[in-house]
Structure 1
Amino acid sequence: MHQPGPPRFCAVGESVELAPRDPDPERESSYEWSILESPAESDVAAPTDPVWRFEPDEPGIYRFALETPAGRYEQRVRAFPDVRRATSFDLERDRLPAHDPEEVSIMGPFNEHLFDREHPTLEDGTYQYEIDAEPGTHRYGYVPGDDFENAVWEEKKVPGPGKPRVFLEGPGDAVDGAETTITADAKPGTDSEYAADELDVEFYVDDRDPLTDDSLVVDGRETRVPLGELEEPVRVHAVAVGERHSIADCVLVHPDGRVERRNDPPEWARDAVVYEIFVRSFTDEATFESLERRVPYLESLGVDCLWLTPVLESPTEHGYHITDYFDTASDLGTREEFQSFVDHCHESDIRVVFDLVINHTAREHAAFDMSAACVPEYEDWYVWEPIAETPTDAAALEAEDPRDDYAPPVRTTPEGETEVAQYYFNWRGIPNVDYDSLSVRSFFLDVVDEWVDVVDGFRCDVAWGVPHGFWKEISERVRARDAAFLLLDETVPREPEYAESEFDVHYDTTLYYALRDVGNGERPAEDLLEAATAPEREGFPDWSLHMRYVENHDETRYLEECGPEAQRAAVTAVLTLPGVPMIYYGQERGATGYRQPMPWEGDGEATTFHRRLVAARHDSEALSRGDLSPLECAADSDAVVGYVRETDTERVAVVLNFGGGSERVRLDRPLEPVDLVTGDELELERDGGSTVLEVSDAVVVRVARD
């Protein structure tokens, strides 16, 4: 209780949130940080508050002590050198609709997507905003005034090496001897000057465990752990280091020498096909009872994981404005009816994941009312910021109707200062909670405890808005209750840091945007292979899984934007590429509205196609777990791409045509004559060492053995 968690790893220029776990808000003054060790040139001073956004100013080891009501704990932070580079995020002025240059703002991950906070300069017809940014691809948007819907989004690639990666392994069974060995497999990042054997690997014993680093015998990529000193399991962490540091991996060493991996996702998730339901649009009645009656339909699709948009009390149709975290929405049904629905899903071997929304609450939540009224116990529950406008503007904000979601939520403090609640994008109806508050942290831990035994996982809304340290705490907390519990993050854009002892599955925004661009004819289809392998270049570790999709409840329908032929190709890509495929309700029925009522009378042919794709994935180990490699295929159109999924016993070729019509495609492999999805006999021509076939949208076929 209260111990602050595992050692943390970052670079100078980044911040790390440090906080007591499972805190007692009633004893806030009992938590006190002190600095035990820091680099010689560091000027870092200990904070006065229990939650600390620590920003290292020098590379090296920092060691801290935290006094708590339960005792004294230590935590280390390993800071690596700053790798950021001065970068200008630019946009030509004429790309924005009519606007006042004084009111243009820029938003992106560098300012947590906060609206109207950062403002560019205008030079020779180009808006410019310069900051230090790390190597990689950065997505940013320019917003004219308060017209968020007409923001113009761009990407900037900052050159430099990618993150290396590391993977720890050890014996899975008890060992006969005085020590056990952990081996690190280290791989360099993209564009790194380091070869794999030139990378350093640093090993650290968890500060919460009885051993110390001095107990480890490190020999290059191996470390030996003495077993004679172990009376309970200990955690060992490691990072690979080149120009940059990797995401840390962690293993648990048992007293008998067994080594257990700690970051691997639940085994069932590796083969899962997810189906997302927008809860109030899936059935006419929009109740748990009506959802339960549709479980046989879900079973017929072959999906084995159901993701539900929020089911807790909310004044909105979409449910992301939550007013009660401890009960189901009254219009959907009772908690008992929800439990019955979940039980029915389990009887059909379908796991249930639901939305955990803890970055914000609804403005109608009782805690927000009290925070807005400056009730002392709730004053710090939300992020309140001073209003920078003139007094006239501040008065105008206060005069706006507080029931209007488009009116910024404001309050007046006892000192007479006017403050506005922080919110992301233009989401004025869902103010951000403040994780500097021990009360907030304790409250949402109770929320997690309330539902962890009811469902099989959480899809975590706006995961990028909640501190990493809190996600690490949640991950350990739920896994202690259920080792098979799933955590899926919504991070836009995705970041590999969320794979470090936090989430199992990540939104694949990279492939999503590529599928849209290819379907619209804006990029060649071969770009999909680059997008599908992007996690390695982005520094995601080998154990991470990525949810791949063509649409979801926040996006326009792929069918409406790109057409039926491109959709069949895109859906085939999602269900035949590595990762965790997701089908958004109605996608398989020809839906064109992103939150429309489920078109049960819709496209039966498309439903059959989805059903057969899911079956093909489940029936083929190559399609679910095989390695991915390019397939040489010649066609007259750049809308065609091919690839192979391969295991030791099976090879499957996939050829996609996003262009509409039919393309004559020449492949460099012999193929079996039956499509694995449709069951149709393929008309194959042999021309020397090549195979020629017609592809209208998608072909999935086994490669013939030589």
Structure 2
Amino acid sequence: MRHPGRPRVCAVGEAVEIAPRDPDPSADYGWSIARAPAGSTAAVDPDAAVQWFEPDRPGRYRLRLRTPETTHELTVRAFDEGLSPDGDEATGPPAYSGDAGDDHDALAGKVAGDDPDGTGASGGSGLPTDAGGDPEGAADRPRVHLETAVTDEAVVIEADVRPRGRSAGRDADRAGDADGATAAAPRVEFLIDDRDDLSTAAATVDGRTLTIPRERLGARARVYAVPVTDDAYGVTDAVDVRRARAGGDARDGDSDLDGDSNRNGDSDRNAGSDLDGDRNADADGDAFEVDRPFDPPSWALDTRIYEVYVRTFDDSEAAGSHLDAVRERLGELEELGVDTLWLTPVLEHDGAPHGYNITDFFSVAADLGGREAYEALVDAAHDRGMRVLFDLVCNHSAREHPFFEDAYGNPDSPYRSWYEWDEGGEPGTYFDWERIANFDFSSLAVRRHLLDAVDEWAPLVDGFRCDMAWAVPNGFWTEVHDRVKARDAEFLLLDETIPYIPDFQAGLFDMHFDSTTAFALREVGDGNRAAEGVLEAVEERRRVGFPEHASFMLYHENHDEPRYLASYGDAAALAAAGALATLPGAPMVYAGQELGQLGRRDRIDRSAPREDLREHYRRLLALRDERPALAHRAALSRVEYAVRDGDPRSVVAFRREAVAEGDGSDDDGRSGDAVVVVLNFAEETARVRVDAPATATDLVTGERVAADGPGSGTEPAAGDEASAAAAGDDGDGDDDGAGVAVAVDDVVVLPVRR
């Protein structure tokens, strides 16, 4: 049996789930505590294979898992109780997925405070920065990003900790606390995976740099870092260093992320997934490769997602089946500009049209066309260069699932332990949902069943959209993550969690539903919040502790939300579409959104589509794809602007700029591309003066949008943008060359002169 996985990180008072991985439900497992901090009375159940362990003293715990074949040890690093994120939006369920090493004192280093404004370079996950430092409302939780260099002598791992050189405390401002005393700079703890042949004595720590001599490295070293302040610990980051013999691959003979052979015997983690690009041979011919396993797949950062509610997408009778109907419209979706399809659940179900009440986790629903139709759709999408996300439901089954039907009212059923039950003998569920029953993840049989389902569908698709991710133990998701990534490092895991949970970035999921920005867009559309709220929502990512490498899916409606257009009208809907295409994140369009559909789950009315709206989305998505300044990792910053005419609360302006990564030698000229975006959610045209050296040519429509002077609203002459830049004229009738005044109906995107 496999090792139970990565070490865990938590605070005293929080609990972590511990369980054997890749379990055999018929096998006997047991836990014991091999080592604990002085004074601890924490205990484990020696006979329970799956359980929650709650440390009672800060420090390092060494837990021992007994399996039929051998024993494994697992480290749990518990921080002081005061460092818990307190269960607010910066935390998730108590099963934190974290990492600790053999001797945390040996691998703990204070971080030097050498960045007085606490921001560093902009970019990352698109979190706003500017010359003045962090915006008001500094991050509650520290953030860390690991960078790795392989030299002739050593592997050197540097922890970039944010914010640097000042407090990240809840009650401290940029200069310090209320008394003016500056709090200690964040520190970082470097941690080593229990599974690897690397002792803490082999590594040296100097501040935020960990160095491992090449000769001390075994076949593999997984190194983690946890940022810590006086108020909270942050989200763990990781690097995975592998040694390869001359002529071999770093993954030869070790295809699984857990360090054991893959159940299916295959692996796709090739050199292309080496995100740090380090492959360096020593004198003996050994080479090292470095992965960043918690980074999202590169393709996903700038993908454009389209949600298909499969049973109402189109006329299945004419096409043959619901899935055939989707396949026949792939050309239209490609023309729209989307390149990833998220299909709502396709498995056998209880008849509810949404499909989330599953009765068979291994069969495609017959009413959709069966497995043959599903595989034909996936193949057709792949032929067009599109990717497909499978909607993975792990929290529950339908009550019409044969296992639940056998277990209900039958204490002797072999499936009784598969489900949660209340004292009255009714199944556990959320929100009084009456057609589903929650699985009990303390059952090895449940975990085995769902892992087998993961193995069934992952090879066919490009990623999972993980339903109700917050309701499933974190430990299970880390196993799913490592399992699918061992086969395909570019496999995407997208979590549905509302509100989002920063700790899910620590090797559970790659991309997160940005429900915070979605809520802000709806509040702005309803007039309950000023339009600047959308920037505040993006800033919230950093404040709650998401690291710079986190990624997000932007949306404002889906099958669970009322249609934005129906709720807030044309003007707000057009502006909100602009926000999805221009803010940092991967934009998602819900089927029918681009056609003016007003019903949430109704069959899409294709008899009179809103061609103007479809063209609006097509242009925005094309611009999002073409312009480096609108990429996920491009920087976002605020700009000064004034609304001359119109409703100031309905207008927001911001700047996006492509920034070079590393030394910028491979950016193909993309760095430096910059745009200013102005959104207007009101019905009346707004005339807005923006303090930025931009031209008054709207990149969305190609038209001049100058608020004053001749040429307003007309097609630009050939070479207009270049000539304006050369002349230092922003086209607004003013001669200062520093700002631009534009007329904004919904969204304009203006190029910034270089």
Q: State the TM-score, normalized to the length of structure 1.
A: 0.83
Higher relative contact order (CA 8 A, sep 6+): 2
Counterpart-to-counterpart distance in 2, 1:517 and 1:190: 29
Q: Mind listing any 5+ residue stretches in structure 1 that lack a counterpart? A: 90-107, 113-158, 388-418
SS at match of 2:684: coil
Structure 2 match to 1:703: 752
What is the CA-CA distance between 1:549 and the residue it aligns to? Answer: 0.4
Give the number of equivalent residue pairs.
Answer: 605
What is the CA-CA distance between 1:58 and the residue it aligns to? Answer: 1.7
Counterpart-to-counterpart distance in 1, 2:332 and 2:183: 49
Residues 323-374 of structure 1 deviation map (CA, whole Å, 9 limit, x = unaligned): 0111100001121221111011011111000200010000000111122123
Residues 440-484 of structure 1 deviation map (CA, whole Å, 9 limit, x = unaligned): 000000000000111110000000011111100000000111111
> Which of 548, 566, 589 does residue 583 from structure 1 map onto?
589
SS at match of 1:313: strand
Alpha carbons of structure 1 residues 201 and 563: separation in structure 2 relative to 1, 3 Å: same
CA contact (8 A) 1:186 1:196 kept: no
Counterpart-to-counterpart distance in 2, 1:160 and 1:50: 42
Give 1:210-609 correspondences, 5 Å limit: 210-242=197-229, 243-255=231-243, 256-285=287-316, 287-314=322-349, 315-372=351-408, 373-387=410-424, 419-600=425-606, 601-609=608-616
Higher strand residue share: 1
CA contact (8 A) 2:4 2:19 kept: yes
How much is the aligned-residue C-alpha RMSD, in angstroms?
Answer: 2.2
Structure 1 match to 2:20: 20
Residues 72-105 of structure 1 deviation map (CA, whole Å, 9 limit, x = unaligned): 101011111223899999xxxxxxxxxxxxxxxx
Q: Mind listing any 5+ residue stretches in structure 2 that lack a counterpart? A: 96-136, 177-181, 244-286, 659-670, 707-730
Counterpart-to-counterpart distance in 1, 2:83 and 2:74: 26
Alpha carbons of structure 1 residues 670 and 199: separation in structure 2 relative to 1, 3 Å: closer
Counterpart-to-counterpart distance in 1, 2:700 and 2:138: 42
Counterpart-to-counterpart distance in 1, 2:530 and 2:420: 44
Counterpart-to-counterpart distance in 2, 1:197 and 1:260: 31
What is the CA-CA distance between 1:524 and the residue it aligns to? Answer: 0.7
> Which of 624, 627, 631 does residue 635 from structure 2 map onto?
627
Counterpart-to-counterpart distance in 2, 1:459 and 1:305: 12
Counterpart-to-counterpart distance in 2, 1:470 and 1:109: 14
CA contact (8 A) 1:161 1:192 kept: no
What is the CA-CA distance between 1:197 and the residue it aligns to? Answer: 8.1
Give 1:63-142 correspondences, 5 Å limit: 63-83=62-82
Read off the aligned partner of 1:245 and give its amino acid letter.
Y
> Which of 14, 30, 33 does residue 32 from structure 1 map onto?
30
Structure 2 match to 1:614: 621
Answering whether residue 187 of structure 2 is matched by residue 200 of structure 1, we say yes
Counterpart-to-counterpart distance in 2, 1:87 and 1:334: 46
CA contact (8 A) 1:187 1:196 kept: no
CA contact (8 A) 2:294 2:506 kept: yes
Residues 254-298 of structure 1 deviation map (CA, whole Å, 9 limit, x = unaligned): 233443211111100011010001010111115221211111011
Structure 2 match to 1:662: 685
Counterpart-to-counterpart distance in 1, 2:169 and 2:695: 37
Counterpart-to-counterpart distance in 2, 1:237 and 1:111: 20
Structure 2 match to 1:42: 40
Counterpart-to-counterpart distance in 2, 1:558 and 1:612: 19
Structure 2 match to 1:151: none
Read off the aligned partner of 1:384 and give its amino acid letter.
W
Alpha carbons of structure 1 residues 84 and 267: separation in structure 2 relative to 1, 3 Å: closer
Alpha carbons of structure 1 residues 224 and 50: separation in structure 2 relative to 1, 3 Å: same
CA contact (8 A) 2:11 2:84 kept: no
CA contact (8 A) 2:16 2:94 kept: no
Answering whether residue 680 of structure 2 is matched by residue 673 of structure 1, we say no
Counterpart-to-counterpart distance in 1, 2:209 and 2:18: 30
What is the CA-CA distance between 1:11 and the residue it aligns to? Answer: 1.2
Counterpart-to-counterpart distance in 2, 1:83 and 1:382: 35
SS at match of 2:452: helix
Alpha carbons of structure 1 residues 110 and 21: separation in structure 2 relative to 1, 3 Å: closer
> Which of 141, 149, 156 does residue 163 from structure 1 map onto?
141
CA contact (8 A) 2:29 2:67 kept: yes
Structure 1 match to 2:3: 3
Counterpart-to-counterpart distance in 2, 1:426 and 1:701: 49
Read off the aligned partner of 2:362 and give its amino acid letter.
F
Moved more, 584-593 or 665-674: 665-674
CA contact (8 A) 1:274 1:582 kept: yes
Alpha carbons of structure 1 residues 88 and 295: separation in structure 2 relative to 1, 3 Å: closer
> Which of 739, 750, 753 does residue 690 from structure 1 map onto?
739
Counterpart-to-counterpart distance in 2, 1:582 and 1:88: 29
Counterpart-to-counterpart distance in 1, 2:623 and 2:87: 47
Read off the aligned partner of 1:176 and give its amino acid letter.
D
Residues 617-666 of structure 1 deviation map (CA, whole Å, 9 limit, x = unaligned): 00001111320001211015211000010023211110001111111111
What is the CA-CA distance between 1:192 and the residue it aligns to? Answer: 6.8
CA contact (8 A) 2:705 2:744 kept: no
What is the CA-CA distance between 1:376 and the residue it aligns to? Answer: 3.9
Alpha carbons of structure 1 residues 577 and 160: separation in structure 2 relative to 1, 3 Å: closer
Counterpart-to-counterpart distance in 2, 1:608 and 1:593: 20
Counterpart-to-counterpart distance in 2, 1:350 and 1:180: 38
Counterpart-to-counterpart distance in 1, 2:686 and 2:412: 68
Counterpart-to-counterpart distance in 2, 1:109 and 1:556: 26
SS at match of 1:170: strand
SS at match of 1:642: strand
Structure 1 match to 2:276: none
CA contact (8 A) 2:93 2:470 kept: no
What is the CA-CA distance between 1:202 and the residue it aligns to? Answer: 0.9
Alpha carbons of structure 1 residues 85 and 311: separation in structure 2 relative to 1, 3 Å: closer
Read off the aligned partner of 2:291 and give its amino acid letter.
E
CA contact (8 A) 1:227 1:257 kept: no
CA contact (8 A) 2:695 2:740 kept: no
CA contact (8 A) 1:456 1:486 kept: yes
Read off the aligned partner of 1:518 and give its amino acid letter.
V
Moved more, 225-234 or 53-62: 225-234
SS at match of 1:225: strand
What is the CA-CA distance between 1:187 and the residue it aligns to? Answer: 1.1
Alpha carbons of structure 1 residues 608 and 464: separation in structure 2 relative to 1, 3 Å: same
What is the CA-CA distance between 1:607 and the residue it aligns to? Answer: 0.2
CA contact (8 A) 2:464 2:493 kept: yes
Read off the aligned partner of 1:317 and give its amino acid letter.
P
Alpha carbons of structure 1 residues 184 and 73: separation in structure 2 relative to 1, 3 Å: same
Read off the aligned partner of 2:657 and give its amino acid letter.
E
Alpha carbons of structure 1 residues 2 and 39: separation in structure 2 relative to 1, 3 Å: same
Alpha carbons of structure 1 residues 278 and 86: separation in structure 2 relative to 1, 3 Å: closer
Residues 507-540 of structure 1 deviation map (CA, whole Å, 9 limit, x = unaligned): 1111011001111110111111110121111111
